[in-house]
A and B are shown apart, each in its own frame.
Chain A
């Protein structure tokens, strides 16, 4: 068994997770166990279900076609059973992504669909749906010297004084080949995340288990003829709406009655850091301009000297 520190939690896993940095020490009682075991095709009497998933009490079943079935129990244990040709690396990819995100929903922790980088000791998050440019922003900022904290999943915790924080995962960024080439990161590309997908793992990985107060949260928006580029602060109502919409899986926020949890996180982030709409052209040629705009914004808000 290998041990990892993911979203501030200790994870013991029988499944190798090559995209995460393992801890050098073992943990006597990890918060979460990932192990191979029998997983049913369906759950008896599910209370809610979708095309690939079912919820029954504190059990959550997820079927990833061609890869594996995962059974998440009470936010503490993940059982996996591969389908016929399921590859261990594919299982690891889904286990550290959607499975872990659902597990955090199950543990009633606020979790955003966001990448995060370290700006002067504070975490700056970039939220958006698949394809919004979260990883590209993180990679561009990484190249500008702001180290990676998270890719795709960022949990929102609180420190002892109620300040919102997030934790680094020891995770590898995933980037499209085209994005890496355009950002001059071709040399940092590792293997593709799956056979037949032109998305690659990128080095360097993020640090393991750092806890940083959140400095700013940006919602990624695309400039259009009717929507100018720029950075605008969202008022509390809009921030709350944006945070809920950018939950890792917004559907689960509703299905699991977690809106109050996200409202509280949104209010805490608005008060202590700020929620902003970053509207920009999705054009690799403009990326250094966008990074420059962000740095200016961080200086104004005291994140950078």
Chain B
């Protein structure tokens, strides 16, 4: 059985911060955090796909690549050794929507691909500004992106991106897809909760992943991965994951910043498009409440 756990999220939802927290759990007292050596693999990375298949992904269609992705993700974990006498959990980041390949298999190989997923969700009104900075687009365009069924990452108009195509779809559908799939267990982490009570939320998520951590480890990780410290590190050494068009990766990191960043119209458009799922996750709506009796993903 695989010991992999997906760190799944829509982009700009705190996945990288969470990866840094997990990375910091393994640092010893006195170690310094190098944000450019996080070591969490990413499911959509192009190089491991090419290494495993021996094929040039740049001359393959999206359908051909996706038909092979379950074969990549179902491979046994590399030998990670043991952690406190238990097999180490392998955390792998993914922004992919939970979807099926053209052959009808789960893209991420279902229960053969991972034993569970930690799904990180952030208020889509806050995702808007972060995404606008990341993609160097306007907030209006970011609002449209969040509601676009064809939205994807790993798509470039100039040359070959370092990641394979990652279908995202609409924000609501992305969240619903992960919550509604029945292949693997899901543990939901709200970005806002992680920010409010980092230690507690991190400890619960690690317990879900089968990873035992001490109070001291968690305390140290929370201190090292403090948002202000990460901003200072990025300013000093740069961050390799900062998008080429973006100025900074660790931008503001505040919950509720949308209140002074979005126009009323942008806020309303997001809430109109995603109100039901926002309510499900527990985000207060400023405009009319969502229509009743809607389940996950019915939009």
Question: Contact residues of A with B, CB < 8 Å?
Answer: 50-53, 62, 64-66, 93-94, 97-98, 102, 129-131, 133, 136, 152, 174, 176, 178-179, 182, 193-194, 196-197, 199, 224-226, 249-252, 282, 284
Given that A178-B158, A226-B36, A282-B159 are contacting pairs, would A65 and B64 also be in contact in the complex, using a CB cutoff of 8 Å? yes
Q: B64 to A199, Cβ gap below 8 A? A: no
> Do A131 and B59 have beta carbons less than 8 Å apart?
no
**A98 close to B54 (CB less than 8 A):** yes
Contact A249 B46 (CB under 8 A): no
The residues of A that contact B141 with a CB separation of less than 8 Å are none
From A93, A98, A174, A178, B157 is in contact (CB under 8 Å) with A178
Question: Using Cβ atoms and an 8 Å threshold, which residues of chain B touch A50?
Answer: 52-54
Question: Does B254 have its Cβ within 8 Å of any Cβ on chain A?
Answer: no
Cross-chain contact of A53 among B54, B161, B238, B239 (Cβ < 8 A): B54
Closest to B163 in A: A131
Is A62 within 8 A of B59, CB to CB?
Answer: no
A194–B198 alpha-carbon span in the complex (Å): 49
Cβ of A52 and Cβ of B56 under 8 Å apart?
no
Q: How many Å lie between the Cα of A215 and that of B87 in the bound state?
A: 49
Residue of A nearest to B48 (CB): A251
Known: A131-B160, A176-B159. A51 touches B50 (CB 8 A): no
Contact status B238-A225, CB under 8 Å: yes
A131 near B159 with CB under 8 A, answer yes
**Would you give 17 A-B contacts (Cβ < 8 Å), ordered by A?**
A51-B68, A51-B72, A52-B54, A66-B61, A66-B64, A94-B55, A102-B54, A130-B50, A131-B58, A131-B160, A131-B161, A131-B162, A197-B61, A224-B238, A226-B36, A226-B237, A249-B54
Q: In the complex, which of the residues A131, A178, A179, A252 has the most CB atoms of chain B within 10 Å of its own CB atom?
A: A131
Size class of the B contact interface (CB-based, 8 Å): 20 to 34
B46 neighbours in A (Cβ, 8 Å):
129-131
| Contact A136 B160, beta carbon cutoff 8 Å | no
B160 to chain A, nearest CB (A): 3
Most chain B CB within a 10 A radius of its CB, from A133, A194, A225:
A225
* Contact A98–B159 (Cβ < 8 Å): no
Instruction: Give chain A nearest CB distance to B141 CB in angstroms.
Output: 21
Q: Does B196 contact A (CB under 8 A)?
A: no
**A contact residues around B161 at 8 Å (CB):** 131
Name the residue on A nearest B58 (C-beta). Answer: A130
- A51 to B55 alpha-carbon distance, docked (Å): 10
Q: Is the CB of A176 within 8 A of B237?
A: no
Alpha-carbon separation in the docked complex, A130 to B156 (Å):
14
Residue B260 lies at the interface, judged by CB distance under 8 Å to chain A: no
Q: State the CA gap A102–B54 with chains docked (Å).
A: 9
Pair A51/B61 contact, Cβ less than 8 Å: no
Which of B59, B64, B160 contacts A97 (CB under 8 A)? Answer: B59
Cβ of B71 within 8 Å of any chain A Cβ, yes or no, is yes
- B52 CB to nearest chain A CB (Å): 5
Give residues of chain B (81-113) contacting chain A, Cβ–Cβ below 8 Å.
none
Report if A52-B53 is in contact (Cβ < 8 Å); known contacts: A93-B59, A133-B159, A179-B159: yes
Check if B67 is an interface residue, CB within 8 A of chain A.
yes
A133 to B158, CA, bound (A): 11
Q: Closest residue of chain A to B240, judged by CB?
A: A224
Instruction: Name, among B54, B158, B161, the residue most crowded by chain A CB atoms within 10 Å (CB to CB).
Output: B54
Q: Does B229 contact A (CB under 8 A)?
A: no
Report the bound CA distance from A35 to B50 in whole Å.
Answer: 26
Task: Give Cα A152 to B59, complex, Å.
Answer: 13
Partner of A98, one of B36, B47, B56, B238: B56
* A51/B238 contact (C-beta < 8 A), A130-B58, A131-B161, A196-B61 known: no
Residue in chain B with minimal CB distance to A66: B64
Q: How far is the CB of B47 from chain A (nearest CB, A)?
A: 6
Closest beta carbon of chain B to A65's beta carbon, Å: 5
CB distance from B164 to the nearest CB of A (A): 11
Decide yes or no whether B51 CB sits under 8 A from chain A. yes
> Smallest Cβ distance from B5 to chain A, in angstroms?
22
Chain B residue nearest in CB terms to A129: B47
In the bound complex, residues from chain A placing their C-beta under 8 Å from that of B51 are: 249-251
Highest count of chain B CB atoms <10 Å: which of A102, A130, A249: A130
Q: Does the CB pair A193–B54 fall under 8 Å?
A: no
Tell me whether B54 and A62 are in contact (CB under 8 A): yes
Return A154 CB to nearest CB of chain B, in Å.
15
